[in-house]
Amino acid sequence: MTAERRAELVRTEAQRLGFSFIGFARAQRLDDEARRLEAWLRQGAHGQMSYMENYFDLRIDPTQLVPGAKSIICLAYNYFNPEKQRDPQAPKISQYAYGEDYHYVVKKRLKALLAYMQEQFGSINGRCFVDSAPVLEREWARRAGLGWNGRHTLTIHPKFGSFFFLAEIICDLEFAYDTPLRDYCGTCRRCIDACPTQAIHPNGYWLDASKCISYLTIELRSEIPEDFRGKMDNWMFGCDVCQDVCPWNRFARRHREPAFEPHPDLLAMTQREWLDISEEVFQKLFQKSAVKRAKFQGLKRNIRFLFSKKTSPAAENPWQKE
């Protein structure tokens, strides 16, 4: 079977499984990206995400993750939902976390695609990845023609925007490889100008994650620094600002994944209900959600920071008892 025919079969099955689009890149060491990653880490832009310093060789060389790897199959799974929370004063949650945790939803379909490939092509050495391993997924998506990496550093597809999850299958099969798309950000700086915490470099294409609201509300384990008070744009989990203002997201289409639908009560909750949220309500709303990464006390910390004038010195670190 030719590499072109293999790519055609995998592309068709991926679309049947619900993936929005797919591309193929040749597996090789990422030397230029290695230098950029080293510089980013040296500047401390990863904040307290010390795990970003681990497995450096695996991040820049896919053959370290899958011996004999020849290809990176890159896929995108749409999560765009135009529905917003009804109370404009309520603390906000990023729409990627409205429904069930994408790690499990997308991984299930990714494994089904790998199983299909094994049925069609025989024994394959391959692994599935969904934002949970040392893979430079946005660079591979760019190389596979899924889009360009915009000034906000997220992957933008010219017909779908940027509201999608990235996933990869690294395997030892050869395919017909796609070519990267050119960068169409042009002179636009909407994401840079709109970022509430100025986390994006003035020239774009570089993110100080330690200033990013998503980092502050999800990854940061200590209290949110006072420097960010009044700058969080009311986000309690994640942030969609740079995507909301991106002109390319006028092409975003509502997802068709039932698992990504929010709990019936989620978008209707008022500011007062969020301020008074109990652990029982938290568990009901976010039973299978990515919000559980912050845990109940972490979400309460975020809400407290948004609506209190200052953090009490005696405030309990929500992760102290872990």
What residues are annotated to the active site? 131
Give dist(CA 164, CA 167) in Å, integer. 10
Q: Say what angle helices 3-16 and 102-121 make with each other, to 10 degrees.
A: 140
Nearest one of 93, 100, 113, 124 to 240, comparing CA atoms = 93
The percent of the chain in helix, strand and coil, each rounded to the nearest 5, is 40, 10, 50
- Would you state the structure tokens that stand for residue 28, as one six-digit string? 């090789």
- Would you state the structure tokens that stand for residue 230, as one six-digit string? 């009044």
Q: Which residues contact 131 (CB under 8 A, 6 or more apart)?
A: 102, 103, 137, 165, 166, 167
Judge whether 142 and 149 are in contact, CB under 8 Å: yes
* Residue where the block lists tokens 């949110």: 224
Residue 87, helix vs strand vs coil: coil
Q: Which residues contact 311 (CB under 8 A, 6 or more apart)?
A: 223, 224, 226, 304, 305
